[in-house]
Chains A and B, each alone.
Chain A
Amino acid sequence: MSTRRAAPNFAGMKARHRKIVGDGIGVGVATGAYGLSFGAISIASHLNLAQTCALSLLMFSGASQFALVGVVASGGNPLAGAASAVLLGARNAFYGLRLAPMLGLRGPKRAVVAQLVIDESTAMALAQTGRGAERDQGDEGDEDGDGRVGFFATGLSVFVLWNLGTLLGAVAARHLTDPKQLGLDAAVPAAFLALLSPRMKGRQPWAIALTAAAVALALSPFAPAGVPVLAAAAVAVVAGVAGR
């Protein structure tokens, strides 16, 4: 596609960066639409407007937000929901590890940029550099800035549109009297499954997913709501340590 070695080709680089920015905005629009459903589901789960918007601004990680809201909706202790959300966010730390050398961050800037480290911005940044997830190239590797442009274009547009989507979805859902009437209680599991599906490659994820679901269902009649989800997390920890 691009002539990566021709360093002085600034025109080509500019055109490429424009295209990457366009792609990033596209991802932002798609994510914003999904923000609409988060806003509506959060209100239907009895969070108020301010709490719903605070989650999108401050937590800014879709799966974690859905997890917190899902536990609250099922009548669980909100703090158990927060714990599930944090466990889900652990992957963002590993995204940061891969991104740090590419972004060349130093000092207090990191504190701001860290908030943009999410699935979408990481995927777009790594896709530009064309090197697979596994290779560690140290601090070398993004001399034409493509990865950085992908990260910021995607991260910023997702941030703006996710929050806008959340606000609109939440405001619209406030007029509902009974969320069940609109089937919003079925929207919650559908959202979880849609988030899960890209991760179901190979046999191990299926084994883990089915075991985790069985553990959670088996515990749900006895354990306080929210605890079955955390017990399911233990399945991942055990499998991770066993290293299979």
Chain B
Amino acid sequence: MELRNESVKMPEAAADDTEILNPDHDQDDAETDKASKIAVQTESLSVFFNERPAIEDISLKLRRNRVTAIIGPSGCGKSTFLRALNLMHEMTPKSRVIGRIRIHGKDITSSSSVDVRKKVGMVFQKPNPFPTMSIYDNVVAGLRLNGKRRNSELDEIVERNLKHAGLWEEVKDRLKAPALSLSGGQQQRLCISRTIAVNPEIILMDEPTSALDPISTAKIEELIYNFKSEYSIIIVTHNMQQAARVSDSTAFLYLGKLIEFSKTRRMFTNPKEKLTEEYVTGKFG
């Protein structure tokens, strides 16, 4: 990861903290209970790899049942940010996190990663179904591995979640076929059913369509739109059109720092920061 924080002078992003913390501040005055509307909140979150900062001092409040997109050029730390939210950074040796992450108000930075990840599911860049398992087994893998084994119940869960991910009609006659026999787009939807089968409240998506063709991409984007009523979704994408299409609010990261966090519409039409404007209009990145 290429980071040259010291050499680049940031625009006055930090000074605007209070402003960008709350993209909806101009509309939220009617809310009586703001806290319950927040799905994920980070407070001065920094992640270090080998004592080098990958993201620095990011404070965000992401609302429930909304889609939040995280955009930025390669190496800006958007995946790092996402992976910190379900403590996946622990997989990387010599990583360290400071700051707080609150999921529905509860600080998770020191909780058990297993508990966190049951609530915060993740869909990865490349479809990664378990290669030794069938389609059926993939969907219930999370439940089975956590000890749920009643078969009648599982059948129902498989059907419900495959339907939910829009895959049921395509695979219902070959549930016992190996997962790898599916096409890339189908595999990704299988991974999504696998993720929602454990009943998460929040779904993290790390460039979920970057390995897929446009038609499969469209199907996934449709899913994301439909999922809004049930889940809070955070999606990392390098595709700004995608961010514009699927998300309600967007955060722009650059060189590990949060530059701007606004309503998506505003971000792409009338950004507050000059850097954001340059990025969304394709002047760099």
Note whether A and B form a binding pair.
Answer: no
B residues within 8 Å of A by Cβ?
none
